[in-house]
Each structure stands twice: as structure tokens, then as C-alpha cells.
Structure 1
Amino acid sequence: MMERANTDAAELVEIWRGPFHEGTHRGHVAIWHHDTGLVASWGDAEAVILPRSACKMIQALPLIESGAAREAGLSERQLALACASHQGAAVHRGMVEDWLGDLGLGEGALRCGCQWPNDIEERDRLIRAHDGPNQMHNNCSGKHSGFLTVAKHLNAGPEYLEIDHPVQVAVRTAFEEVTGEDSPGYGIDGCSAPNFATRLKAFAKALAAYAAAGAGGGVRDEAMVTLRTAMAAHPELVAGEGRACTRLMRAMGGRATIKTGAEAVFAAIIPERRMGVAVKIEDGGTRASEAVITQILIAMGVLDPEHPEAVAFAHGPIRNWRGIETGFIKVSDDLARWRP
């Protein structure tokens, strides 16, 4: 059965050019407190979404819970990369190459597909060498290296993206357990991996579980703490230079873990608030999801509203190619007023 996007979206972000209101981004937000449940929402918290790459920390749970990460001796940096949508920079490609080598595998074992790196320096290096990208440049190659690590640990076959492969069975099980719901189905992501659908508030609930997890709370809690800590400690690996995830996590100094996903999904884990935040912008406008998550992080008290990165993502200004200020971003008044 075909599933259509929910249309009960809230107006969340306005785009202004000079004195003219040029456009509006609509979407959905769910904020979940681990102890008290849904504490705030805009749009429809019941909307079914594909969380895309914003759920990579959930897809990485089997990597730790199965014992695969421990057996492979993975570092905190590698665990951060397993949750990444990276730029394909030399540091990202190099880490994947070393990781595969440690597994006794080559680039051909990956199933994510080739992608030109978004990192300009690495892209230009390839062009100067009359070379092209390989699968290690794919923004999801860290996640796929994690999948391969689990597959080796389970003595499973090489086609680790098949829906009935033990790796994806483990991912779906973990996903449904932390969201507290059976997934209604899945789509195939840009990297060819299954991406399981869920309600927005269920995704926020899962993120709140990461926020509330504590050391000594069992295997799952330990895995959640390990992954959220790795991401916050290595923001340059989770995304890359210039990207919102990297810039905002640096600005927060480890107080929150955030992750973007395609089609304007954004996730946040705020341990000191025991809260999780899930954002979905209906038109797929990334600038809007970045503005919304920035405003919420400010409201949570984990991001200084005067920090240049906070100002840049929540307000702009918007500049043209000559550097002239042409407009600004404005989050909705209702969102701007909200405080936990």
C-alpha cells in the first residue's frame, strides 16, 4: 500500500528577502521526555516518517550489543563513524579503508555504491589525479563498515543489506524495541540499506531513551551511552567541515548529540534534559530542519543563542554570491517562545 506524507503540518520556518515574505517551510516536531512522554509537538506527532540517516545511532546498536565492536577492537572514533553521514574527506575515506583492512576486506565488500565526496579538497584531489570516487567516499560507508563488522561476527553472508539477512533482522529488532512500535514497513535508502518507518513521536521516544541511558543500566543502556558519547566527542567524523551536525555539536561542547537525515529529518539527544527531539520538514528543505533543531537546542539551554553558529542556523542572514545580505530565516513565533 502506498503511504502519502501527512498534510497536517505546522508552519515552522519563514524565509524573508528584504521586506518580502518569500516562502514558508511546514513540518512536524515531537519532543519526548523519557519519564513523562510527549511534552511538546508541532504539526502531527503521529505522522509516519522514514527517519533516514537521522537514525544511524539506532542502526549501530547491533554493532555493540552483539559483541562485534568489542571483538573487532573498534575505537570511539570508529563508532562515531558508524553513525556518520560524512563528507568523504580524506580522514573519512582513510578510516574506512583501515577498518575494512582490519576485517580482511576490501572496498568491494561494501554495498553502499560510489559517491563523489562532498569534501572539496578530496574531490579536487581525485579530479587532478584523473580518478573517480569509490564506495569508501560514500557518506554512509562508516555505517556499512559497521554492518560488515556485525556480519563477520555472526558468520553471516556478504549480502548484508538483504532484508532477511541477520544484520538487518538485528537492526529492525533494535529499531522496533527502542521506538516501542512495530515498523509499518521500510524504504530503501540512498546507500541501499533498508530504512524502517515509524511515527515521529516514536522516533523521539527512542532518542529520549538514548538521552536517559546511564552507565550500568544494562547492555542496551551501555550501547546507547557509548554511541551518543562517541558522536558528541567526534563531530568532525559524524558529518564534516561546514556541516550543521559538526558545527552545532562543537558549539555545544558535547552537551547534546544531533544527527541529520535526508529529506529534512533531524534528531537530537539531550542527556541533561532526558529528552529526545525529532523533526521532519515536509518539503525536504534542510535549511528549515537546521533552523528548527537549532531553536530547540537554544530553548533546551544547551546552545548559547548568541553563539555565531546558533545565529547562523536559526536566523542567517542569507547572503548572495557577492556576500550581500539579502534576507533572513525566521522560526515561527510559537516555536521561538517554547521552553521546556
Structure 2
Amino acid sequence: MDAHLVEVTRGGRVESSHMGSAVVVDADGVILFRAGDIEAPVFTRSAVKALLALPLVETGAADRLGLSDAELALACASHVGEPVHARTAASMLRKAGQDPDCLECGIHWPTSRAGQRALFEAGQEPSALHNNCSGKHAGFVCLACDNGDTLLGYVRPEHAVMRQVTEAAAHMTGARMDENNRAIDGCSIPTYAIPLRALALGFARFGSGTGQHPDRAEAATRLRRAVAANPVLVAGEGRFDTRLMQAFGLSVFSKMGAEGIHVVSLPEQGLGIAVKCADGAARAAEVAIAALVARHVDATPAQHAVLDACMRPVLRNWNGIEVGALRPTSGFVHGKRT
């Protein structure tokens, strides 16, 4: 059963609310906090991009191709199509001897106004480089080229690269990922429905290295460092994940996914956090994630200020007048520890 996670106020009254589930676990799978049904399968969507990037690093492909930290960060990204995102994805492809035509993620306009304006002013149309998943796909292309695999159809579940990255995510989460719980993601790769608890476990392990081969643990550390050094590449200017990681650096890894899924790794505490908003609202998942991070980290006053702003974002109308806010419910903030 879903829990009441977040409410939306207007004029001092609760106007609407968001239901969902949330869990905090350590790297041994011990549950420290739970709300809602944490065993119900949920599609991981883009929340698992960092887990899918592990083989790119642990196999040595990233080093052999000379990928930079910025490029590794983009391999974990759901970006907004700003010029820096497109340039970085193109650079990854060049290092693999490829061009944007090989990407199988699809084409859409940048979701950032800056990205849209840059294309419009240049008189250009968007390419696959502007797809929010272009960094992840460029990483797949790099891995395939390093492996000597064919590129055509790399998004299909039977392709060698997709089997390789799926194995990594399944191992990290301890969850089954096969044809019985598989669907197609927005960027055409497979996505798998797994328990929210397992998703959180994967990110507890991602941050702590517990139970992982040394090469995989080192790969996770390298990806976290790359992301911490380049948070704008992982999301975009002003976005939730960027703001959180700019404030906390290596202490917090945060990654959203479509339809209200969100994960966090807290390496210093050895914890993983996962939230699923039942109605798919990213705004509510962000509030819930910020509340759980605030509950489990020792933050400086400046970091507390960032968390508080993320926990209680103000709503304004088109005239800039403050009309309400989002906030975690009192039951969620003071909810069940196990």
C-alpha cells in the first residue's frame, strides 16, 4: 500500500498530495527506513544509469579510449541538452571512431531553454546528441567498440553490450532482470521492474563497494568522483540532482528517473535511498529524497539550506507571486525507522 509522502499547499490549505513508497537500506540489505510497499516491482528507468556505466570503466574501455571524467559523468546523465552536453557526447563518440548517426536513442529537442535557444539561433535542428540519454548511449557505443562488437541494434536485450550492462545492474541490486520483468525505456534500451528495496540496495553497494569485486568497487568510486566533479553534466543548471551534488560533492550521489523514480547513494554512511512517486511526479520524488537525505546525513548550515529549499520548494504563479509550496508530510518526515 502506498504511503502519503508529499503534500501541496495553497493559501495555507493542502490542495493535493502525492502517494508513493520510499526505503533506506545499508549495503548488507538492512532496512533503516521504509514507507509504502517497498517490495512492489517498479521500473528503474534512468535511475540506474550509473550502474549501467560500470562495465565501461571496470573493463578498462574508458581508459583505452581516453574518456575524461566529464565524459564518464555524462555516461551517467539525464541531461537537458545544453551545448556542453551535446559537445561532450560528440567527444565520446569521436574517441570511439563514431559519429552521432550511430546513436539509437532517438531525437528530441533539448529540454532546457538555453539548449533550445542555442539550436534555434544557430538555425539547427536537434540530433541524437540532444537526447537526454545521449551520454549513456555514447557510453554503450564506446563499450561496444572497445569489445569489438557490432553497433547495430546495441539497444536490444540480446546484444552483447546490453547483456553486459544488465548483468552489472542485476548483480548490484540482487534483482532478477530478464524477459519476465522487462519493458522498453524511453530511449529504447530495456528497463526492468524490480523491488524498490533492491534498487536502494544497489546504490548502497554503489557507494560502499560492499560485496563487490575490487575492479567493480573501484569503477563505482571513479564514476562517483567524475559525477561529483561535473554535476552540471549529470543533469543541467539548476536541476535538483545538480544542486544536491554541488552542495554535497562526494558525500551524495543523486539520480532521477522517469515516472517519479529517484535514487541516492550516501557513501560515507554506506546507505542507499530509493523513492517511487505513485503518480509519476518528479517534483514529489525530489521532495521525498531531500527529506530522507536530510534525515541521514550530517550537513553543514549551507548544505541544510539547500536541503530545506529542495524539501519545501515554493510555487509561484506567472506573475511571480508565491501561491503555495510542496512539503513532505509530517507522517513521512517522522515516519517508520526499522
- Bin the TM-score by the shorter chain: over 0.9
User: Hey, what's the Cα distance between the residues in 2 that align with 1:65 and 1:201?
Assistant: 25
Q: How far off is 1:249 after superposition? A: 1.0
Q: Deviations over 1:50-104 (max 9, x none)?
A: 1111110111111112221121121111111100001111111111112211211
User: Hey, what's the Cα distance between the residues in 1 that align with 2:119 and 2:220?
Assistant: 37
Q: Secondary structure at the match of 1:187?
A: strand
User: Hey, what's the Cα distance between the residues in 1 that align with 2:27 and 2:192?
Assistant: 22
The within-5 A match list for 1:185-200 is: 185-200=181-196
Counterpart in the other structure of 2:126: 133
Counterpart in the other structure of 1:287: 283
Counterpart in the other structure of 2:147: 154
Q: How far off is 1:193 after superposition? A: 1.1
1:37 paired with 2:30, answer yes
Q: Secondary structure at the match of 2:268?
A: helix
Q: How far off is 1:327 after superposition? A: 0.9
Q: Percent identity?
A: 38
Matching residue within 4, 19, 31 for 1:26: 19
User: Hey, what's the Cα distance between the residues in 1 that align with 2:88 and 2:102?
Assistant: 15
Matching residue within 4, 10, 19 for 1:11: 4
The within-5 A match list for 1:85-164 is: 85-158=78-151, 159-164=153-158
Compute the TM-score of the two structures, normalised by the length of structure 2: 0.93
Tell me if the contact between 1:96 and 1:141 (Cα under 8 Å) persists in the aligned partners.
yes
Q: Deviations over 1:180-230 (max 9, x none)?
A: 12124222111111112211101111111012128x961111111111222
Tell me if the contact between 2:74 and 2:135 (Cα under 8 Å) persists in the aligned partners.
yes
Matching residue within 48, 51, 57 for 1:55: 48
Matching residue within 255, 268, 273 for 1:272: 268
Q: Please tell me the residue identity of whatever aligns with 1:260.
A: M
1:335 paired with 2:332, answer yes
Compute the TM-score of the two structures, normalised by the length of structure 1: 0.93
Tell me if the contact between 1:299 and 1:338 (Cα under 8 Å) persists in the aligned partners.
no
Q: Secondary structure at the match of 2:288?
A: helix
Unaligned runs of 5+ in 1: 1-7
Q: Please tell me the residue identity of whatever aligns with 1:332.
A: T
Q: Secondary structure at the match of 1:127?
A: helix
Q: Alpha carbons of 1:305 and 1:277: their partners in 2 closer, same or farther (altered >3 Å)?
A: farther
Q: Alpha carbons of 1:194 and 1:141: their partners in 2 closer, same or farther (altered >3 Å)?
A: same
Counterpart in the other structure of 1:213: 209
Q: Alpha carbons of 1:121 and 1:330: their partners in 2 closer, same or farther (altered >3 Å)?
A: closer
The worse-fitting range, judged by mean Cα deviation, of 80-89 and 298-307 is 298-307
Q: Secondary structure at the match of 1:40?
A: strand
Q: Alpha carbons of 1:304 and 1:316: their partners in 2 closer, same or farther (altered >3 Å)?
A: farther
Counterpart in the other structure of 1:4: none
Q: How far off is 1:304 after superposition? A: 5.0
Matching residue within 39, 47, 56 for 1:46: 39
Q: Secondary structure at the match of 1:13?
A: strand
User: Hey, what's the Cα distance between the residues in 2 that align with 1:105 and 1:211?
Assistant: 32
Q: Secondary structure at the match of 2:70?
A: helix
The within-5 A match list for 1:214-229 is: 218-229=214-225
Q: Please tell me the residue identity of whatever aligns with 2:214.
A: G
User: Hey, what's the Cα distance between the residues in 1 that align with 2:268 and 2:202?
Assistant: 16
1:179 paired with 2:173, answer yes
Q: Secondary structure at the match of 1:251?
A: helix
Counterpart in the other structure of 2:312: 315
User: Hey, what's the Cα distance between the residues in 2 that align with 1:133 and 1:266?
Assistant: 27
The within-5 A match list for 1:53-92 is: 53-92=46-85
Q: Secondary structure at the match of 2:275?
A: strand
Tell me if the contact between 1:180 and 1:202 (Cα under 8 Å) persists in the aligned partners.
yes
Q: Secondary structure at the match of 1:252?
A: helix
Q: Please tell me the residue identity of whatever aligns with 1:337.
A: H
User: Hey, what's the Cα distance between the residues in 1 that align with 2:156 and 2:148?
Assistant: 15
Q: How far off is 1:126 after superposition? A: 1.7
The worse-fitting range, judged by mean Cα deviation, of 113-122 and 298-307 is 298-307
Q: How far off is 1:130 after superposition? A: 3.1
Q: How far off is 1:312 after superposition? A: 2.5
Unaligned runs of 5+ in 2: none
Tell me if the contact between 1:287 and 1:313 (Cα under 8 Å) persists in the aligned partners.
no
Q: What is the RMSD of the two structures over their aligned residues, measured on CA atoms?
A: 1.8
